Structure 1
């Protein structure tokens, strides 16, 4: 029996509702598999914790998390109490950066049972690989002067190492899927970083002659996600471009509440972290109507990361069958509660 030790951070708002639901599903999936079990250790780091302690996590929080095989995160943020830049940089981004989680992966697919806003959604199934450590989200810059002369400078930083790392990861995934990789660029308008991005992409492609490639400007690519998402297989993008594209991906699926994500550490020194794309939605917290699918699909990605690909696919198939049969929460056109959706997924898993 393989024991998988996972640190759990429910976080804020509906994270405290959907994370326990996903843990129940993971335990049920482990029972079905028979060869694995989980040990979950939960940590209350959140905006509640910040109001009590003046920080989002204790000083030794990262040292504590480092001992686990993965981090399972719910949602971070409650802007009415704690500014977003404080809550995110004090917990979510802090873990991403200091645990060297340099790759972010977010899938989007036509999900049976969901009403896509697209007129002809076809059968799209794409995966965005987002560079997760630098780019437009670097911490280099500052503010100078006050009043009419105030200046804000935010520097985008692209290293060959970070750029190539993300691209090689994306090429490897494309080889395992349908053999096509799209690069998100903007080299016609951003005159230094994006031509550099294009050059690295061409260089890396030489090592993957079996993978077909396309480079598409981000504005056109965003439009194509809406007009013809079915043509995409794997997309590799910078930190900012990947962030924007994956929210579009969630939207065309039919709701951001079902979208999952993984933050991957490649060197094995630190655990990877798994989190849904959705936010904490404090306005519906406690009503029992939060959509658990995003968190459960995130759990599927964690199973994939641990090497249990068949079990992960079985779980996603079960979730999709539940939505197809109309058992879904209000945000995606149903009337079921968080508890009802979760219980039905578990029932079908066990069946």
Structure 2
């Protein structure tokens, strides 16, 4: 019997509602397939925790999380209680950086039965590979002077090692898919970092002659996600560019509520973290209408990374069967409650 130890952090807002739904699904998956067991432990780290303790997690929080195979996160943030820069840097970004989760993977796929926001989406299937540890989200910089003379300085940091790592993963994924890697750049406007990025992309591309590669400026590529998403395969981008493009990908799927993501540690020293793309959505908390698919699809990615690829594909297949038959929440124009969608997924997993 294989046991996966999972640290669950429901977090804030609807994260507390969708996390139990995804755990129900994972427990059903283990029951159906056999040979697999989950050992969940819930951690209360959140904005409410911050209001009580003055920190998003205790001093030994990272040590405790490091004992698990994976971290399963719901949503972080409630700006009405705690400023976003405090909640994110105290929990989400803290985990990403200290656990060396240097790669973020976000698929954007037109699920069966879901109406895209696009008039003619043509069954797009994109994976965005995002460098997740440096780039534009570096904390290096500062502020000086006061009043109208105040200056904010933010330093972008691009290392060859981390850039090559993201690109190599993109090419590896493309070799198992449609065989195309698109690089997000802006070398016509960002003088140092993006030419550096482009040079490394050319270097990595040359090592994969059987994979087609191309570079597109971020503004044009964002538009391409809207006009020609079906022509894209694997897209690799810096921390900021990958973040923006993957949210565009989530939007064209029909709702950000269905979008999953994975923050991967590749050296085996720390657990990886899996989280849906959507936020805590405080405006719909308690209404029972949050979309559970983003968290459940994220569970699929957790399974896949932990060596259960066949089980993961079965789960995604069932998710698509359910959406194809119209079991959709209000954000997708559907009439079903959160628990009803989950119940249908669990029912079909049993078959």
TM class, shorter-chain normalised? over 0.9
Q: Per-residue CA shift, 1:205-229, capped at 9, x if unaligned? A: 2221211100000000000000000
**Residues 119-268 of structure 1: matches in 2 within 5 Å?**
119-268=119-268
Following superposition, the deviation at residue 313 of structure 1 comes to: 1.1
Unaligned runs of 5+ in 1: none
C-alpha deviation, 1:152, in angstroms: 0.7
1:118-138 deviation per Cα after TM superposition (whole angstroms, max 9, x unaligned): 110101101000000000000
RMSD: 0.7
Number of matched pairs: 351
Counterpart for residue 349 of structure 1: 349
What TM-score, normalized by structure 1, do the two folds share? Answer: 0.99
- The 1-side partners of 2:213 and 2:332 are apart by 34
Q: Counterpart of 2:108? A: 108
In 2, the alpha carbon distance for the partners of 1:13 and 1:148 equals 37
Deviation string, structure 1 residues 64-120 (Cα, Å, up to 9, x no partner):
011100000000000000000000000000000000000000000111111111110
User: Residue 3 of structure 1 corresponds to which residue in structure 2?
Assistant: 3
Q: For 1:6 and 1:344, how far apart are their aligned partners in 2?
A: 24
Give the corresponding residue for 2:329: 329
Q: Given the alignment of the two structures, is residue 32 of structure 1 paired with residue 32 of structure 2, yes or no?
A: yes
Structure 2's unaligned 5+ residue stretches are: none
| Secondary structure of 1:198's aligned partner | helix
Q: Which residue of 1 aligns with 2:299?
A: 299
1:13-52, CA deviations, whole angstroms, 9 ceiling, x for partnerless residues? 0000000000000011111111101000000000110010
How far apart in 2 are the matches of 1:318 and 1:204? 37
CA distance in 2, matches of 1:72, 1:207: 35
Secondary structure at the residue paired with 1:152?
Answer: strand
Give the Cα–Cα distance (whole angstroms) in 2 for the partners of residues 289 and 243 of structure 1. 26
Task: State the TM-score, normalized to the length of structure 2.
Answer: 0.99
CA distance in 2, matches of 1:43, 1:190: 41
Aligned-partner Cα distance in 2 for 1:172–1:121: 26
